[in-house]
Structure 1
Amino acid sequence: MYCVQCEQSNKGGCATKVGSCGKTADVADMQDILLRLMLGVSVYADRAARLGARDPEVDAFTPYAWFTTLTNVNFDQSRFTVLIARALDMREKAKACAQAVDADLSELPEPATWNPGLTQSELVAAAPFAAIQRFMDRDGPSIVGLRNLILYGLKGTAAYSEHARVLGKEEATIHAEFHRICAFLGGDPTDTEALLAEALAIGALNLKVMELLDGANTTRFGHPEVTMVRMTPIAGKAILVSGHDMGDLEAILQQSEGQGINVYTHGELLPANAYPVLKKYKHLVGNYGGAWQDQQKDFAAFPGAIVMTSNCLINPEIRGYQDRIFTAGPVGWNGLPHIENHAFAPAIACALALPGFAEDAPEKRIPAGFARNTVMGVAETLLDMIKQGDVKNLFLIGGCDGARPGRNYFHDLAVATPQDSLILTLGCGKFRFNREELGTINGIPRVLDMGQCNDAYSAIQVAVAVAGALGCDVNDLPLHYGISWFEQKATAVLLTMLHLGLKKIHLGPTLPQFLTPEVLGILVDNFDIRPTGDVREDLARMLEAA
């Protein structure tokens, strides 16, 4: 085991025995093996795609398999044994697809032919061949760091792609580009410029994927509307739905309707309360709890059933609620019941058997639903406010949250922003400050919740539109970035921002461990990335540049 893929890896270092997330060395090794095989799958799929051929089953399996390896998603070793066997089958299917169109299958990289076996002893022996530090002595930390930047960017992009796929949205060109970049990575490349170029290519791909997911969500659930979301519970039986998957949330609402159960969102599903198709379910009563890192406290206090639809899962056994939490989709924990095919009857039965909340808590609501359609609907008002000086600065503050004390930076930055500024926020980083009373400008809340982390697409569209209307480049806007980095989805979003040429991004609270000083130097030189520091100094620098 050697894991540096997220900020919590042994509190900022690398995990070699067990992850701070609770991931065991055996599970980490299985994930590495799975991904090495998936690179081989993509080698064949890429060569087939270049000749216009594809296998839909291979394309469907690919983002799902990658998603299971993200931080705090799947900890179930038995599931990875099955996934590895299926990856071997998918590699043969991709190979057959390539052979059917007479693709050139010469000079294949190692992942296309490597066979780790399927028995436990074989997989243990194979793990060193899939480890990310395998070529550290040969290639050096900077090359390995750039390859990891690509690897983790691909993971984040795959997760967003899977979210869209389960809602019925996928595109052959997106699958083909994903396979192409994977095939490149499968050759263990060592050219610095080529590696950086492919990292930015992931940013371009992720922008398309976020656009696809945005379309999937808005086509199915309508465009988010400004909504005052209740943040406190009411009396009655209860189900708590966490993660990102609004399709699972909709299925739970459909299957529990009329059964006297109140449904609450948690974490990154808070924005779901603003989608009109979901709002029509009267038993979707609001949000419970905060960001993912507080879930052990939140879940232990929740008197109902809990469903995890995607990341981020934390060990449920420590606080003793493992008998009432269910996993779905790519999520897994050894011993927890797993929901298949969106059939949530077990979770609903569990909720009916539990006491639920005995009484209403004092009502507390916060606004949500400021996605691109809402903001662009009042674009003229926003532009007038900027032109007249009512709004002098825009701040994009958000991203992944986490448990580090340094993450108070994002709360303190939001609170310190001038009263003549608007704050665009997304991801679970919003929970640092979204309950603060930061006031309004001309009746518009200063904090505009744009949605989930993938709704960075909305923020980008708003920024581009405002810049276009004002006749300037996005980098010339009084728009400042305080981005909270934690895991691989954040890596994909960061690469998208870099692909678009956005500069002066304050990133923190710590930088990814896989970014060596040399790699960081490349990003600083090209994009002026700035590690977060003292809030007052950073804010002064932002405002001075406006």
Structure 2
Amino acid sequence: MFCNQCEQTARGFACTVAGVCGKTPEVSALQDLLLHAVKGLSLFAVEGRRLGIVDPEVNGFTVKAIFSTLTNVDFDPERFDALIRRGVELRERMREKVAQAGGKVDFADPAATFQPAPDLKGLIKQGESMGLVIDRQANEDIQSLQTILVYGIKGVSAYADHARILGQEDDKVFAFIHEGLAALTNKELTKDDWLKLVLKCGEINLRTLELLDKANTDAFGHPVPTEVPLGHKKGKCILVSGHDLKDLSDLLEQTGGKGIYVYTHGEMLPAHGYPGLKKHKHLYGHFGTAWQNQKKEFPSFPGAILMTTNCLQEPQESYLNNIFSTGLVGWPGVRHVENDQFGPVIEKALEMPGFPSDEDKGTVMVGFGRNALFGVSEKIIDLVKRGAIKHFFLVAGCDGAKPGRNYFTEFVQKVPRDSVVLTLACGKFRFFDLKLGDIEGIPRLIDIGQCNDAYSAIQIALALAKAFNCEVNDLPLHIVLSWYEQKAVAILLTLLYLGIKDIRLGPSLPAFISPNVLDVLVRNFNIKPISTPDEDLAAILNKPA
């Protein structure tokens, strides 16, 4: 296997024996093979669009299949077997439609004619022989840009699938995904061509995030500031982790009146701010931190655990029987809930002991989406003009278990008291419960939401720039990002597409960025790796460390 798509990749180069995340070489091979199948499907989807042929089933399958290859999403070999075969079926269906319309069907790339082996063992061998979906004969810089594009497309696909589930789609998102994957078969593209595709990926991700924002707010309302308990109530319980708000909503409907408290975990914390979800009084509080601590936190939870389209660490046998999954979460031995029917989860929760007593562990505040902040924008602008707020720090992104992530905790602790920290995504669990106080009623730590809510952060930055009649890069806004997987790559590409500069990135730079490509990013966007909190803050504030 060869996998370098996450920040924790072995030796800062690639996982070549087994994934640090727990991914086996067999699953890695099946994921590679699935991407090759989707690349072949994309060739015909692009040609079909040229002829006015668009297949909604192909679109939906494409983002679902690609999403299943993200870090720590689906590690169940049997599910990849079905996805690979379905991808080939859809490719052949598109081939027939394109042929009937007089379009091109004689593509030279092997992905256009690939036929899956008859059994899982054969599929694994095929995946091993194909390897990465990029052109491994290209030079280092083109391979690097192709890899950035593929990982960006993975992030876009994740967000597009979330939006699609709630009824929000835009064909230009699917069209770009197909265009980008089909481009991998074109050996004539130059480094500049690939760089343009990478930045276009950022543009398309912005549109995708907008769709997801609309999907969530149309379904559940705009988040409002909400205090969330970190303790628990006596009684039966279900813990929900992941990102999928619809799954949580359906579970809340089905558990109403059954004497079960529902708790959030990880990236589900912001759910408490949505009016359409917080109306359920048995949605009580938040348990634990982020997915990186599952092996410590999950065995101590005395109820059922539901994973929703999430990054799931390899479950231990001691609590495997308590875990259920929906959407794209797949691990061998984890029971999958079909069609949002949560009866088995509810039954397990009723069987489990639940919490024996109430416990108060304090609270945290969530629900500061763009609408909530726009409601106090005049006050924030006044505080900036009076010098009461001198800096905004966006400290956001993914969390992970690799050493060095304490940087983000220390950084937030050390920002000046005349500063506001904006945060989103699971990286905030390094500091989400810090008590930073407020500046004349404006909290100094503002939780904007999930990584899925990056659109809100972007709109807040653009609104501030408009209010002060300047560019975003001229604002006293400093961006410090932690990255772990491919959704973070897509968000970074969006920031680059918007021309945002001076981003600090850590804990380490992506292994798939070649020195020359990194030089382009540094020269054009002044991207820099994090160093130490003291050194970075001194540089930002123009003070000696």
Matched residues in 2 for 1:268 and 1:357: separation? 22
TM-score scaled by structure 2? 0.97
- CA deviation map 1:101-125 (0-9, x unaligned): 3333354533222234342343233
Q: Residue 462 of structure 2 is aligned with which of 458, 461, 464? A: 464
Relative distance call for 1:133 and 1:161 in structure 2 (3 A) is closer
- Letter matched to residue 152 of structure 2: G
Determine if contact 1:11/1:20 at 8 Å carries over to the other structure: no
Whole-angstrom distance in 1 between the partners of 2:189 and 2:508: 26
The whole-number CA distance in structure 2 between the counterparts of 1:371 and 1:455 is: 8
Query: Deviations along 1:442-494, whole A, 9 cap, x unmatched?
Result: 11110110000121111110111110111101000010011001000000000
Q: How many angstroms apart in 1 are the aligned matches of 2:134 and 2:457?
A: 39
Report the Cα offset of residue 405 of structure 1: 2.1
Question: Which 10-residue stretch deviates more, 296-305 or 184-193?
Answer: 184-193
1:6 counterpart = 2:1: no
**Offset of 1:13 from its aligned partner?**
3.0
Q: How big is the shift at 1:128?
A: 3.9
Contact 1:71 1:311 in 2 (8 A): no
RMSD: 1.5
Deviation at 1:237, TM superposition (A): 0.3
- Map 1:382-531 onto structure 2 (within 5 A): 382-531=380-529
Give distance in 2, aligned partners of 1:53 and 1:274. 41
1:66 shift after superposition: 0.6
Aligned residue identity for 1:5: Q
Kept in 2: contact 1:40–1:186 (CA 8 A): no
Query: Equivalent residue of 1:207, what SS?
Result: helix
* Consecutive unaligned residues in structure 1, runs of 5 or more: none
SS at match of 2:27: helix
Instruction: Kindly indicate whether residue 530 of structure 2 is the aligned counterpart of residue 532 of structure 1.
Output: yes
Q: CA deviation at 1:9?
A: 2.1
For 2:40, the equivalent position in structure 1 comes to 40
> Relative to 1, partners in 2 of residues 1:119 and 1:417: Cα closer, same or farther, differing over 3 Å?
same
- Write the mapping of 1:311-330 to structure 2, written as runs, cut at 5 A: 311-317=310-316, 320-330=318-328
Distance 2:121 2:236 in 1: 47
SS at match of 2:310: coil
For residues 363 and 491 of structure 1, what CA distance do their matches in structure 2 show?
Answer: 34
CA shift digits 1:55-89 (9 cap, x unpaired)? 11111111111111100111111111111111111
- In the TM superposition, what are the counterparts of 1:203-222 in structure 2 within 5 Å? 203-222=202-221
- Counterpart residue type for residue 271 of structure 1: P
Flag the 1:102–1:478 CA change in 2: closer, same or farther, 3 A. same
Letter in 2 for 1:181: G
Q: Counterpart amino acid of 2:77?
A: Q
Equivalent residue number for residue 102 of structure 1: 102
Deviation at 1:232, TM superposition (A): 1.2
Percent identity at matched positions? Answer: 48
- Tell me which residue corresponds to 2:152: 153
Question: Which secondary structure does the structure 2 equivalent of 1:49 belong to?
Answer: helix
Structure 1 contact 110–186 (Cα < 8 Å) conserved = no
Letter aligned with residue 394 of structure 1:
F
CA distance in 2 between counterparts of 1:189 and 1:344 reads: 51
1:16 CA drift (Å): 1.4
Query: Does the aligned pair in 1 maintain the 2:394–2:478 contact within 8 Å?
Result: yes
Cα distance in 1 between the residues matched to 2:75 and 2:104 = 38
Q: Which moved more, 1:209-218 or 1:39-48?
A: 39-48
Does the aligned pair in 1 maintain the 2:81–2:123 contact within 8 Å?
no
**Other-structure match for 2:131:** 131
Q: Determine if contact 2:85/2:116 at 8 Å carries over to the other structure.
A: no
Question: Any idea what the Cα deviations from partners look like across 1:122-174, whole Å, max 9, x if unmatched?
Answer: 323322443128854x3233222211101100001000000011111112222
Question: What residue is the counterpart of 1:361 in the other structure?
Answer: 359
On the 8 A contact 1:266/1:290 being kept in 2, the answer is: yes
Q: Mean alpha-carbon deviation: is it higher for 526-535 or for 176-185?
A: 176-185
Tell me by how many angstroms 1:428 deviates.
Answer: 0.5
The question of whether the paired residues in 2 share the 8 Å contact of 1:407 and 1:509 is answered with: yes
Alignment partner of 1:305 is 2:296: no
Would you say the 8 A contact 1:413–1:535 is kept in 2?
Answer: yes
- Give the Cα separation in 2 of the matches to 1:219 and 1:245: 15
Give the equivalent residue in structure 1 for 2:77: 77
- Secondary structure of 1:413's aligned partner: helix
Encode CA deviations 1:4-23: one digit per residue, 9 max, x unaligned.
Answer: 01012235331112111111
Distance 2:43 2:446 in 1: 43
Task: Tell me whether 1:180 sits opposite 2:179 in the alignment.
Answer: yes
Residue identity in the other structure for 2:533: V
Question: Displacement, 1:327?
Answer: 1.2
2:378 counterpart SS class: helix
TM-superposition CA deviations, 1:195-244 (whole Å, max 9, x none) = 11101111000000000000000000000000001111111100000000
Secondary structure, counterpart of 2:400 in structure 1: coil
Shift of the 159–134 alpha-carbon distance from structure 1 to 2, 3 Å rule, reads: closer
SS of match in other structure, 2:240: strand
Between the aligned partners of 2:135 and 2:95, the Cα distance in structure 1 is 27
Deviations 1:297-344 (A, max 9, x none): 1111100000110221011125x1000101110110112110111111
Cα 1:17–1:188 shift into 2, 3 Å? farther
CA distance in 1, matches of 2:167, 2:108: 33
Which residue does 2:269 correspond to in 1?
270
Q: Who is 1:342 aligned against?
A: 340
**Letter aligned with residue 86 of structure 1:** R
Change in 2 beyond 3 A, CA 1:259/1:188? farther
Residue of 375, 393, 417 corresponding to 2:373: 375
Distance in structure 2 (CA, Å) of the matches to 1:124 and 1:327: 24
Aligned to 1:111: 111
After superposition, the Cα gap between the structure-2 partners of 1:5 and 1:118, relative to the gap in structure 1 and judged at 3 Å, is farther
Give the secondary structure class of the aligned counterpart of 1:340: coil
- Provide the C-alpha distance between the structure 1 equivalents of 2:528 and 2:65, rounded to a whole number of angstroms: 33
How far apart are the structure 1 equivalents of 2:368 and 2:398? 19
Gaps of 5+ in 2: none
Residue 363 of structure 1 and its aligned partner are, at CA, apart by: 4.2
Q: How many residues align?
A: 543
Counterpart amino acid of 1:357?
A: F
1:78 aligned partner, one-letter code: E
CA distance in 1, matches of 2:188, 2:252: 47
Query: Contact conserved, 2:229 with 2:360, CA < 8 A, in 1?
Result: no
Query: What CA distance in whole angstroms lies between the structure 1 residues aligned with 2:113 and 2:216?
Result: 38
* Alpha-carbon distance in 1 for matches of 2:113, 2:542: 56
Measured after TM superposition, the shift of residue 100 of structure 1 is 4.2
Q: 8 Å contact 1:36–1:186 — kept in the other structure?
A: no
Tell me how far apart the structure 2 counterparts of residues 108 and 439 of structure 1 sit (CA, whole Å).
62
- SS in structure 2 opposite 1:214? helix
Q: Structure 1: which amino acid aligns with 2:16?
A: T
Alpha-carbon distance between aligned partners in 1 of 2:97 and 2:260, rounded to the nearest angstrom: 48
**Residues of 2 paired with 1:422 and 1:350: CA distance?**
43
Residues 510-519 or 213-222, more deviating:
510-519
Name the residue aligned to 2:235. 236
Task: Give distance in 2, aligned partners of 1:410 and 1:429.
Answer: 8
Contact 1:7-1:512 at 8 Å conserved across structures:
yes
Instruction: Work out the CA distance in 2 between the residues paired with 1:371 and 1:185.
Output: 37
